[in-house]
């Protein structure tokens, strides 16, 4: 896909998804971090059903740490992998207090030192929480990038690096939002909606529907 086509692709996604933001509910970087940890192998909807009440009662790392692992596990039991996530969140809160004065760090290395935080989670926090031009690659973004020909890659890291390489600077800040939402609702794994796709003309997928 050439640079002119890539810019056109992003321009059309921008027009169709103007004002797009994460579908997770949060008010600050700490809440975003916890919500993204909880969202692993779970839907944003299931996370949003739990977090508003949780954050209202326990709005800080100190407060959430005070809740304790067992009570937190019960509070998030409707979300998948609750035992592991509760353990990671409690450890993360302790580390935030011990090493970062209770604040969420704004750099990748520090974020990835926290339990339950991998590269994708760090990218989401850096992008959504700190307005850094990172692109988090989840299953939706990976599928769309490969299917359309925007940034083909054998794995998520390869696709992420390719996306950062080919995405024009003006679109990098919001590219993650555009790609994930378009992949989630239009360029789906099955029953993809090519006939309703705003970037169908730019897409290189050989079997796209008319």
pLDDT, one tens digit per residue, over 118-143 is: 999 999 999 999 999 999 999 999 99
Residue where one domain finishes, among candidates 73, 104, 130: 130
| Other beta carbons less than 10 A from residue 13's beta carbon | 24
Whole-number average pLDDT of the chain: 94
- Whether residue 120 lies inside any domain: the answer is yes
| Residue 48: pLDDT over 60 | yes
Residue 120 is a catalytic residue: yes
Element (H, E) at 17: none
pLDDT score recorded for residue 20:
86
pLDDT score recorded for residue 207:
63
pLDDT score recorded for residue 210:
45
7, 100: one domain: no
Mean pLDDT of 47-62: 96
| Catalytic site residue from 12, 85, 120, 162 | 120
Distances (CA, A) of 9 to 6, 103, 133, 185: 5, 37, 18, 16
- Whether residue 172 lies inside any domain: the answer is yes
pTM confidence score: 0.91
Mean pLDDT of 84-90: 97
Residue 106 is a catalytic residue: no
| CA dihedral for 163, 166, 169, 174, sign (positive or negative) | negative
Cα angle, residue 204 at apex, residues 198 and 208 outer, rounded to 5°: 65
Indicate the SS3 state at residue 154. Answer: coil
Over pLDDT 70: what percentage of the chain? 98
> Total domain count for the chain?
2
How buried is residue 153: exposed, middle or buried, by Cβ count under 10 Å (0-12/13-18/19+)?
Answer: middle
**CATH classification of the domain holding 70:** 1.10.340.30
- Whether residue 206 lies inside any domain: the answer is no
pLDDT, one tens digit per residue, over 140-189 is: 999 999 999 999 999 999 999 999 999 999 999 999 999 999 999 999 99
The single residue listed with the structure tokens 């921008």 is 14
| Catalytic site residue from 12, 73, 85, 138 | 138
Distances (CA, A) of 153 to 158, 161, 162: 5, 9, 8
pLDDT score recorded for residue 21:
86
């Amino acid at each position: 896909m050439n640079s002119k086509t890539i810019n056109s692709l992003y321009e059309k996604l921008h027009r169709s998804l103007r004002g797009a933001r994460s579908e997770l509910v949060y008010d600050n970087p700490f809440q975003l971090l916890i919500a993204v940890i909880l969202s692993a192998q779970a839907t944003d909807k299931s996370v949003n059903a739990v977090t508003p009440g949780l954050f209202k009662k326990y709005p800080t790392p100190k407060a959430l740490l005070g809740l304790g692992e067992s009570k937190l596990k019960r509070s998030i039991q409707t979300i998948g992998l609750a035992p592991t996530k509760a353990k990671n969140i409690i450890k993360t809160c302790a580390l935030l207090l011990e090493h970062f004065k209770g604040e969420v760090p704004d750099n990748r290395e520090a974020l990835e030192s926290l339990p339950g935080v991998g590269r994708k989670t760090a990218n989401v926090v850096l992008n959504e929480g700190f307005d850094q031009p990172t692109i988090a690659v989840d299953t939706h973004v990976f599928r769309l990038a490969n299917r359309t020909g925007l940034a083909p890659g054998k794995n998520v890291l390869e696709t992420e690096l390719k996306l950062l390489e080919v995405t024009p600077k003006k679109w990098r800040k919001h590219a993650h939002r555009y790609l994930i939402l378009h992949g989630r609702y239009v360029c789906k794994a099955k029953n993809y909606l090519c006939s309703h796709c705003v970037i169908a003309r730019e897409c290189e997928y050989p079997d796209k529907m008319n």
